[in-house]
């Protein structure tokens, strides 16, 4: 059957099933017990004798509310579901269409109860292209994807378009690489097509070693076929017959679902020989990474696939000319590929209507840290940071005050409150000393010490430096030593200037993107939060009260001896004498629990260096 | 021939004639033994025509290869950005104290291994601890030792 007719038939079949429960099976929700909930729904639906389908779906992004369940046809979006809620949900929501206010999201600003996804501020401001079908379809069933128009773009490209036309369309869309560097995708494909060579490769970079970013994982888990389809179209455009998906081994579920998707696509004749009855052949392998951040760098990734000790190489020659095993190779990120089917189906101009002059389309971000809504979002480029953090992210959680947002993963930079109105696109983030990176976005509040925060990122990049080039290997090590000292209360005058000098040098002289961007967190925090560094060095004081070696917790005279601090201290650092409580600073980890529970607010932080336990 | 050598030989033989599969062989070996025993690596070296140093060069580069036996229960504290901001270092400190192990160590009775992981992508639940394959939310450092009791 032709693909289009099949899609219609499958869509009609699916429209017939009236009642449906969709259970989110992303890693986040599964951490909250989504598997048990899924099984419980199956049993309960059967027990109550209902005609309803229970469908596993991919991540819908609202991980804060997980585990998440939606009930069709009412479009109810239920948060924080547990196994014990299942009989009630089946009986009330699924059977009678009744509402379950206790599971609906309530907007903390307005108090409005949101029954449906589209009522929620979190979803209202998003525009979804790459993640359109996430949470809607069963990622383990190729028919679900075909029913929503999957693989139609491939069919269109293969039967109606010349490879050059495909590339032209991608160029027109203005799509830039979503892995972070932002190289125009169409130009990369064109380069790969023009490169001479019998054998060419397509590689999908699903390494995603960034801490705090999981959009690629969610796409691979939630809609693996969209990645496959994007890769197939790319292969057709550049004239390749073999490809790899490189996934980090920490994502076992993504590996499993991709392998399943490949198997299903092969059965359907969408992968392998003579795809869709044309002369186009394409074979695809999944390659598991083994836990090295540097393997996300494109030249390193290829060396890793070749089975050698990975380290980046000097470019040129660029990968599109000499990549995997010396052959022309087109390497793109998961999100880039996931955008391709929509671009081919709707045209490049349609895609280019979203975004800004230099950055077209939408971008997926993972918004995490101290925000009310943590999760996966996709917004048009050019939205302001403020809109992203406060409208989609829901603002800062708890009592804290917004301090900064860190974008671009461990090698991005921190953007302070003053620049919160900046637009989110490739150019504007770079101008502010940060970058798009893979799209991690971490919001921090006034309880986060920026020196410690910078040190955290640097310790990550330092550890993950492959060690091939000295500026990165030695430079990041030296910087980390200085930061360690400052955080421990042993900072000296001139340390800030030293950090700046080394940082600039590392940026300028490193071989690959890791080193070139590793100093960003340090340089940007010095630029925007210099006073905090100075307080650490001169007053031996951590203004945020976060550095465990700096400052001592003290209980004032206002203490009413209620003992709450002692009960709540996880470290047993609140000790008592006959007529008072006091904090033993050799035990105190400065977690702030005591300050949070103290009813009279009499616990404060005094500047000073922590005494070492004897 | 020891049993380790025999198994290593079988595993290596699966990849005979294939290029660029060293990492795969190492992964399979680790799945079999739980770590990479030197005897097994010697088999790989002989089979693939590589020196032991070359194999160590590749294996030691990646965080997921181990050269010593590991515990029955693997406790991995996520130290990703979101977890860090929400207090992962304190969770780790508490676990180190509770288990009497330093990060990266295995208890002498091979019951627990304690280590960190850069990010498991469950930032909404931060801070999280992964015990074996199960990702668990840690509400505060005081409760962290209770996640072990569930296993």
> pLDDT tens digits, residue range A18-55?
788 999 988 888 878 888 899 998 898 888 888 888 99
| Number of DSSP helices (H) and strands (E) in chain B, helices first | 7, 4
| Polymer length of chain A | 614
**Antiparallel, parallel or unpaired: β A329-333 and A69-72:** unpaired
Q: With an 8 Å Cβ cutoff, is A471 touching chain B?
A: no
Cβ pair A591, B87 in contact under 8 A: yes
Residue A448 exposed, middle or buried by CB count within 10 Å (0-12, 13-18, 19+) = buried
Q: With an 8 Å Cβ cutoff, is A139 touching chain B?
A: no
- Mean pLDDT score, B54-75: 87
At residue B141 the predicted structure's pLDDT band, cuts being 50, 70 and 90, is low
pLDDT of residue B148: 67
Cβ pair A265, A150 in contact under 8 A: no
Q: Is residue B19 predicted with pLDDT exceeding 80? A: no
Cβ pair A109, A362 in contact under 8 A: no
**Distance separating alpha carbons of residues A482 and A519, to the nearest angstrom:** 13
**Distance separating alpha carbons of residues A164 and A362, to the nearest angstrom:** 24
Q: Is residue A609 predicted with pLDDT exceeding 80? A: no
- Mean pLDDT score, A339-352: 93
What are the tokens at B67? Answer: 């050269």
Residue of B nearest to A460 (CA): B118
Q: Is residue A232 predicted with pLDDT exceeding 90? A: yes
Q: Is residue A154 predicted with pLDDT exceeding 90? A: yes
Question: Comparing C-alpha atoms, which of A223, A554, A482 is closest to residue A378?
Answer: A223
pLDDT of residue B149: 63
Sheet with B128-131, strands from edge to edge, namely B112-117, B73-78, B128-131, B134-137
pLDDT of residue A559: 87
Q: Is residue A348 predicted with pLDDT exceeding 70? A: yes
Q: Is residue A314 predicted with pLDDT exceeding 70? A: yes
Q: Is residue B28 predicted with pLDDT exceeding 70? A: yes
Q: With an 8 Å Cβ cutoff, is A97 touching chain B?
A: no
Question: Comparing C-alpha atoms, which of A525, A549, A559 is closest to residue A607?
Answer: A549
- For residue A368, give the nearest of B82, B89, B93 by CB distance: B82
At residue B1 the predicted structure's pLDDT band, cuts being 50, 70 and 90, is low
Among B76, B119, B128, B147, the strongest candidate for a mutation testing the A interface, having the largest count of A CBs within 10 A, is B119
pLDDT of residue A613: 52
Instruction: Enumerate the β-bridge partners of residue A232.
Output: none
pLDDT of residue B119: 82
pLDDT of residue B139: 63
**Smallest Cα distance from B103 to chain A, Å:** 15
Cβ pair A203, A329 in contact under 8 A: yes
**Distance separating alpha carbons of residues A375 and A368, to the nearest angstrom:** 6
Highest mean pLDDT, choosing among A91-105, A327-341, A529-543: A327-341
**Distance separating alpha carbons of residues A406 and A399, to the nearest angstrom:** 20
Mean pLDDT of chain A: 88
What are the tokens at A491? Answer: 């900072």
Q: Is residue A463 predicted with pLDDT exceeding 70? A: yes
Q: Is residue B133 predicted with pLDDT exceeding 80? A: no
Question: Comparing C-alpha atoms, which of A546, A515, A595 is closest to residue B86?
Answer: A546
Question: Comparing C-alpha atoms, which of A283, A285, A287 is closest to residue A275?
Answer: A283
Share of chain A above pLDDT 70, in %: 99
Q: Which residues of B are annotated as a binding site for [2Fe-2S] cluster?
A: 78, 83, 119, 123
What are the tokens at A113? Answer: 């109860």
What are the tokens at A519? Answer: 């100093």
Structural domains of chain B, ranges and CATH numbers in brackets: 3-61 (no CATH), 73-141 (3.40.30.10)
Chain B residues closer than 8 Å to A310 by CB:
61
Q: Is residue B2 predicted with pLDDT exceeding 80? A: no
At residue A338 the predicted structure's pLDDT band, cuts being 50, 70 and 90, is very high
pLDDT of residue A353: 93
Please, what sign has the CA dihedral across residues A73, A78, A84, A89?
Answer: negative
Of A250 and A492, the structure prediction assigns the larger pLDDT to A492
Q: Is residue A614 predicted with pLDDT exceeding 90? A: no
**Smallest Cα distance from A3 to chain B, Å:** 35
pLDDT of residue B150: 57
- Mean pLDDT score, B92-121: 86
pLDDT of residue A594: 84
At residue A611 the predicted structure's pLDDT band, cuts being 50, 70 and 90, is low
Q: With an 8 Å Cβ cutoff, is A411 touching chain B?
A: no
Please report the residues numbered 188 through 217 in chain A whose beta carbons come closer than 8 angstroms to any beta carbon of chain B: 208-214, 217
Of B8 and A596, the structure prediction assigns the larger pLDDT to B8
Task: Establish how many alpha carbons lie within 13 A of residue A410's alpha carbon, considering only the half-sphere containing its beta carbon.
Answer: 29
Q: Is residue A72 predicted with pLDDT exceeding 90? A: no
Share of chain A above pLDDT 90, in %: 34
Task: Give B77-103 pLDDT, tens digit per residue.
Answer: 888 888 887 888 888 888 888 888 888
**Smallest Cα distance from B138 to chain A, Å:** 11
Highest mean pLDDT, choosing among A151-160, A597-606, B115-124: A151-160
Among A25, A30, A31, the strongest candidate for a mutation testing the B interface, having the largest count of B CBs within 10 A, is A31
Which region holds residue B98: left if phi is over 0, alpha if psi is between -120 and 50, else beta? alpha
Please report the residues numbered 524 through 553 in chain A whose beta carbons come closer than 8 angstroms to any beta carbon of chain B: 548
**Distance separating alpha carbons of residues A227 and A206, to the nearest angstrom:** 10
Q: CB–CB of A442 and B82 under 8 A?
A: yes
The string over A165-202, giving b where at least 16 C-beta atoms fall within 10 Å of a residue's C-beta and e elsewhere, is ebbbbbbbbbbbbbbbbbbbbbebbbbbbebebeebbb
Mean pLDDT of chain B: 84
Q: CB–CB of A291 and B81 under 8 A?
A: no
Question: Comparing C-alpha atoms, which of A157, A234, A155, A156 is closest to residue A189?
Answer: A234
pLDDT of residue A437: 82
- For residue A212, give the nearest of B54, B123, B136 by CB distance: B123
Among A25, A26, A28, the strongest candidate for a mutation testing the B interface, having the largest count of B CBs within 10 A, is A28
Q: Is residue A178 predicted with pLDDT exceeding 60? A: yes
At residue B13 the predicted structure's pLDDT band, cuts being 50, 70 and 90, is confident
Task: Give A381-426 pLDDT, tens digit per residue.
Answer: 999 999 999 888 888 887 788 999 998 888 888 899 999 999 999 8
Q: Strand, coil or helix: what is B143?
A: helix
């Amino acid at each position: 059957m032709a693909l289009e007719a099949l899609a219609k038939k499958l869509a009609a079949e699916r429209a017939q099933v009236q009642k449906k429960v969709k259970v989110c099976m992303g890693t986040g929700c599964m951490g909250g017990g989504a598997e048990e909930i899924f099984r419980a729904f199956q049993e309960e639906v059967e027990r109550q004798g209902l005609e309803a389908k229970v469908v596993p779906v991919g991540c819908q992004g609202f991980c804060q509310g997980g585990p998440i369940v939606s009930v069709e046809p009412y479009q109810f979006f239920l948060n924080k579901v547990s196994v014990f809620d299942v009989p009630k949900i089946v009986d009330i929501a699924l059977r009678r269409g009744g509402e379950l206010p206790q599971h609906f999201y309530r907007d903390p600003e307005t108090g409005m109860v949101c029954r449906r996804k589209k009522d929620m501020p979190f979803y209202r401001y998003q525009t979804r292209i790459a993640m359109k079908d996430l949470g809607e379809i069963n990622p383990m069933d190729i028919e679900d994807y075909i029913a929503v128009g999957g693989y139609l773009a491939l069919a269109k490209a293969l039967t109606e378009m010349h490879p050059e036309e495909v590339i032209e369309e991608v160029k027109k869309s203005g799509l830039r690489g979503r892995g972070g560097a932002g190289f125009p995708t169409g130009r990369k494909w064109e380069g790969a097509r023009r490169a001479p060579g019998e054998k060419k490769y397509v590689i999908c970079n699903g390494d995603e070693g960034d801490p705090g970013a999981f959009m690629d994982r969610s796409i691979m888990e939630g809609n693996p076929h969209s990645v496959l389809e994007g890769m197939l179209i790319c292969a057709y455009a550049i004239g390749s017959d073999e490809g790899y998906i490189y996934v980090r081994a920490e994502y076992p579920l993504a590996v499993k679902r991709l392998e399943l998707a490949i198997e299903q696509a092969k059965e359907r004749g969408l992968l392998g020989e003579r795809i869709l009855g044309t002369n186009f052949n394409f074979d695809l392998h999944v390659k598991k990474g083994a836990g090295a951040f540097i393997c996300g760098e494109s030249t390193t990734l290829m060396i890793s696939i070749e089975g050698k000790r990975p380290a980046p190489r000097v470019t040129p020659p660029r990968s599109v000319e000499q990549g995997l095993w010396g052959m022309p190779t087109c390497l793109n990120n998961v999100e880039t590929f996931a955008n391709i089917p929509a671009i081919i189906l709707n045209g490049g101009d349609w895609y280019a209507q979203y975004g800004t002059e230099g950055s077209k389309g939408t971008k997926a971000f993972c918004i995490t840290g101290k925000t009310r809504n943590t999760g996966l979002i996709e917004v048009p480029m050019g939205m302001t940071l403020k809109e992203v953090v406060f409208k989609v992210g829901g603002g800062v959680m708890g009592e804290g005050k917004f301090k900064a947002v860190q974008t671009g993963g461990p090698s991005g930079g921190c953007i302070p409150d003053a620049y919160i109105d900046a637009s989110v696109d490739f150019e504007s983030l770079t101008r502010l000393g940060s970058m798009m990176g893979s799209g991690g976005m971490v919001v921090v509040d006034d309880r986060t010490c920026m020196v410690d925060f910078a040190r955290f990122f640097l310790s990550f990049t330092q550890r993950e430096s492959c060690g091939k080039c000295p500026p990165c290997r030695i430079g990041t090590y030296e910087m980390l030593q200085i930061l360690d000292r400052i955080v421990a209360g042993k900072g000296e005058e001139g340390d800030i200037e030293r950090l700046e000098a080394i940082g600039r040098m590392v940026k300028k002289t490193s071989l690959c993107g890791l080193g070139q961007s590793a100093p960003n967190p340090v340089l940007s925090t010095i630029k925007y939060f210099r006073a905090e560094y100075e307080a650490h060095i001169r007053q031996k004081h951590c203004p945020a009260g976060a550095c465990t070696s700096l400052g001592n917790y003290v209980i004032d005279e206002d203490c009413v001896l209620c003992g709450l601090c002692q009960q709540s201290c996880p470290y047993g650092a609140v000790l008592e004498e006959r007529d008072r409580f006091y904090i033993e600073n050799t035990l105190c980890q400065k977690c702030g629990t005591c300050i949070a529970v103290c009813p009279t607010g009499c616990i404060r932080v005094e500047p000073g260096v922590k005494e070492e336990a004897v | 021939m020891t049993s380790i050598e025999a198994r290593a030989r079988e595993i290596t033989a699966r990849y005979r004639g294939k290029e660029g599969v060293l990492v795969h062989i190492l992964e399979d070996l680790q799945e079999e033994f739980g770590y990479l025993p030197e005897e097994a690596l010697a088999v790989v070296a002989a089979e693939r025509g590589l020196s032991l140093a070359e194999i160590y060069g590749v294996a030691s580069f990646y965080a997921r290869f181990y050269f010593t036996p590991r515990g029955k229960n693997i406790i991995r504290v996520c130290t990703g950005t979101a977890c860090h901001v929400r207090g992962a270092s304190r969770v780790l400190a508490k676990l180190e104290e509770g288990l009497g192990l330093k990060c990266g160590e295995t208890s002498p009775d091979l019951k627990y291994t304690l280590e960190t992981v850069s990010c498991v992508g469950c930032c909404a639940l931060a801070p999280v601890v992964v015990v074996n394959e199960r990702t668990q939310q840690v509400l505060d450092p005081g409760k962290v030792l209770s996640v072990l009791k569930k296993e």
